[in-house]
């Protein structure tokens, strides 16, 4: 039977309509599980052993690789370039650190020149590295979001394993994790180096305390707590703040397990000229107890 041209036209029109409907539906679906997906990995560039009894630690929120005067949330502003990586490395090297905890570390962000930021920084520092994201993160107005942000650890010590543990969940865009890197401090002696960045919320400290309570090895916990003054919840675990007098109300802090370490000194790496980030880098020199 011969079909009329009108019927054939209707069939083609229906097919086009179904195709367009399918494509629109597919485009509206999120191809990433923003609620659950979280990237974490580590790499050892060196695996030699040490016998250190004194450890220099640094914590630094690098504002997604943008200078203090730049806005990383503005898609028209470009940052996180090679020059900034070198500037951050130059600053960190001043402290001659053994362990560095970084916050707001970008990965594949829309307006970042260097997409794998921690990898390039680790190369500049010649250190092992671990990375753990909080969630996906790009400038305002960019969707779908493919960039990420999170915490990182740079260290001269061998990384044995990592755990990127969620401690805060407000929404799929507001969730935070703590990055715990198990390091070989000495042959047969493990140290937990933790980098964190709180929102903060009520659940942040309580979930961190629960996690810390499960650890039996020495701990150094560093990061942007977004909390000033004494945090009493850590007292029951025997943790101490390297800035014991709370003289400057720092939110960028270094805590350590008091049974394992004592603090020789605490301070800030000078950054008064270039303002590499909207935070200063704080350091602590810790002595391993006998």
pLDDT digits (tens, 9 = 90+) for 176-215: 999 999 999 999 999 999 999 999 988 999 999 999 999 9
Q: Is the model's pLDDT at 175 over the cut of 80? A: yes
Pairing of strands 148-155, 99-107: antiparallel
Q: Is the model's pLDDT at 243 over the cut of 70? A: yes
Q: Is the model's pLDDT at 15 over the cut of 60? A: no
Residue 68's domain spans which residues?
Answer: 53-288
What pLDDT, on a 0 to 100 scale, did the predictor assign at position 55? 98
112 vs 70: CA distance, rounded Å = 12
Question: How many domains does the chain contain in total?
Answer: 1
CATH number at residue 209: 3.60.10.10
- pTM (2 d.p.): 0.89
pLDDT digits (tens, 9 = 90+) for 50-109: 999 999 999 999 999 999 999 999 999 999 999 999 999 999 999 999 999 999 999 999
Cis amide leading into 11 (omega within 30): no
pLDDT-based confidence at residue 2 (cuts at 50, 70, 90):
very low
Q: Is residue 104 part of a domain?
A: yes
Q: Is the model's pLDDT at 17 over the cut of 50? A: no
Q: Is residue 29 part of a domain?
A: no
pLDDT (mean) for 136-145:
95
Question: What phi and psi values does residue 123 have, to the nearest 5 degrees?
Answer: -65, -45
Nearest to 254 by CA among 130, 125, 101: 101
Q: Is residue 13 part of a domain?
A: no
pLDDT (mean) for 230-237:
92
Q: Is residue 66 part of a domain?
A: yes
Q: Is residue 222 part of a domain?
A: yes
pLDDT-based confidence at residue 10 (cuts at 50, 70, 90):
very low
Q: Is residue 82 part of a domain?
A: yes
Q: Is residue 20 part of a domain?
A: no
Q: Is residue 130 part of a domain?
A: yes
User: Between 11 and 143, whose confidence is greater?
Assistant: 143
């Amino acid at each position: 039977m011969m079909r009329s041209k009108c019927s054939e036209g209707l069939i083609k029109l229906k097919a086009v309509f179904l195709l367009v409907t399918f494509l629109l539906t597919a485009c509206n679906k999120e191809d990433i599980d923003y609620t659950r997906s979280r990237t974490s990995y580590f790499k050892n560039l060196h695996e030699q052993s040490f016998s250190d009894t004194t450890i220099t630690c640094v914590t630094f929120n690098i504002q997604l690789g943008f200078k203090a005067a730049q806005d990383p949330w503005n898609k028209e502003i470009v940052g996180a370039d090679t020059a900034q990586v070198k500037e951050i490395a130059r600053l960190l090297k001043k402290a001659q650190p053994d362990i560095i905890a970084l916050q707001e570390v970008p990965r594949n962000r829309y307006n970042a020149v260097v997409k794998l930021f921690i990898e390039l920084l680790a190369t500049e520092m010649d250190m092992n590295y671990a990375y753990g994201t909080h969630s996906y993160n790009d400038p305002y107005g960019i969707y779908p979001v493919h960039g990420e942000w999170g915490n990182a650890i740079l260290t001269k010590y061998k990384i044995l394993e990592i755990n990127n543990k969620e401690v805060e969940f407000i929404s799929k865009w507001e969730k935070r994790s703590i990055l715990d890197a198990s390091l070989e401090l000495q042959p047969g002696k493990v140290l937990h180096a933790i980098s964190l960045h709180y929102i903060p919320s009520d659940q942040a400290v309580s979930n961190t305390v629960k996690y810390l309570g499960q650890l039996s090895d020495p701990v150094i916990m560093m990061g942007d707590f977004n909390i000033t003054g004494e945090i009493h919840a850590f007292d029951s675990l025997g943790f101490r703040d390297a800035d014991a007098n709370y003289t400057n109300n720092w939110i960028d802090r270094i805590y350590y397990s008091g049974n394992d370490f004592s603090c020789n000194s605490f301070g800030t790496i000078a950054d008064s000229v270039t303002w590499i980030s909207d935070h200063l880098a704080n350091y602590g020199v810790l002595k391993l107890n006998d």
